[in-house]
Amino acid sequence: MKGIILAGGAGSRLHPLTSVVNKQLLPVYDKPMIYYPLATLMAAGIQEVLIITSPKYLESFEQMLGNGSNFGMSIQYKTQSLPNGIVEAFLIGESFIGKENVALILGDNIFHGSGLGRKLEAFAASKGANIFAYRVSNPEEYGVIEFDKDFKILSLEEKPLNPKSNYAIPGLYFFEPSVKEAAREVEKSTRGELEILSLLKIYYHAKNLSVTLLPRGTVWLDTGSPKALSDASMFVQIIEERQGHKIACLEELAWRLGWITEHKLRNLADSYPNSSYKAYLIKLLDQPIGKNW
């Protein structure tokens, strides 16, 4: 399975923060926002990732993450000239996807929860399209999914005034390779975008769309507004300070997954400037319980 991170967009809701920097390069507490969706894909066992961003910020992402070798991965980059919608990611990434299943995650979405990675790994060989449902108190602000007690999907709506359920669709989707062809069928909406809900409805009408309820203990955060960005930063800070481990530390995750060696991790840590991040990596290596902690 391969992974795509859509890290473009204008970030208009975060203006003026995004007047000179891409949204996904903004900090969420102690790490750039892009680290969090990348960590989600890594936890799902995905080692080949395509990052799609605007031409203006391509070099910044390349400088930050390189070709992925520091994390035992392969990271490629492509550009999206205009914010034409989520579905365009599959058109841009057509050659990257090839004949493999693909996971698409939005660059401003953060997921955190025990066992989430193992749950996501199960979609590596899944059929059709697979999405998630997450209970929220303000469903009118999201794409909303309605389903019965057997998880049979009844309806899909985009930001409805009168939502039929309290379940939002988070920005993480799993598709079989046919998504490349399905994406070509999507027509632009009235706001001029290739909407993800339009793509999902193609699979829904073909009875090839499945939904999985994210466990109650899972946290999903959309960091697209100033308040949401601040809330996400506070969440990460509280968890890290309380539990003593970092969320979305890419080097640690790669090491625990066995993608890089302890020697590689130590060399990376030694090469970083003095910071709490460097100190954390060194402390990891010096713990007697080490990798199994």
Tens of pLDDT, residue by residue, the chain (293 residues) = 999 999 987 778 888 888 888 999 999 999 999 999 999 999 999 999 999 999 999 999 999 999 999 999 999 999 999 889 999 999 999 999 999 999 999 999 999 988 888 889 988 888 999 999 999 999 999 999 999 999 999 999 999 999 999 999 999 999 999 999 999 999 999 888 999 999 999 999 999 999 999 987 899 998 988 999 999 999 999 999 999 999 999 999 999 999 999 999 999 999 999 999 999 999 998 875 555 54
Residue span of the structural domain in which 210 resides? 2-260
191 and 286 assigned to the same domain: no
240 and 291 assigned to the same domain: no
Burial of 42 (0-12, 13-18, 19+ CB in 10 A): buried
pTM for the structure as a whole: 0.95
74 and 181 assigned to the same domain: yes
pLDDT at 194: 94
273 and 159 assigned to the same domain: no
pLDDT at 293: 45
282 and 250 assigned to the same domain: no
Structure tokens at 244: 């003593």
Measured distance CA(225)–CA(231) in Å, rounded:
10
Number of domains in the chain: 2
224 and 165 assigned to the same domain: yes
254 and 268 assigned to the same domain: no
Using only the alpha carbons of the chain, give its radius of gyration: 19
Q: What are the CA-CA distances from residue 196 to residues 104, 141, 200, 251 (Å)?
A: 11, 15, 6, 32
164 and 69 assigned to the same domain: yes
Please report which helix (H) or strand (E) contains residue 135, including its range.
Answer: strand 129-135
CATH number at residue 123: 3.90.550.10
Segments in the chain forming alpha helices (H): 35-43, 58-65, 88-92, 94-97, 116-121, 179-185, 196-205, 226-243, 250-256, 262-271, 276-286
pLDDT at 184: 96
pLDDT at 191: 87
44 and 20 assigned to the same domain: yes
Structure tokens at 75: 């990271």
97 and 180 assigned to the same domain: yes
Measured distance CA(231)–CA(144) in Å, rounded:
22
178 and 190 assigned to the same domain: yes
293 and 246 assigned to the same domain: no
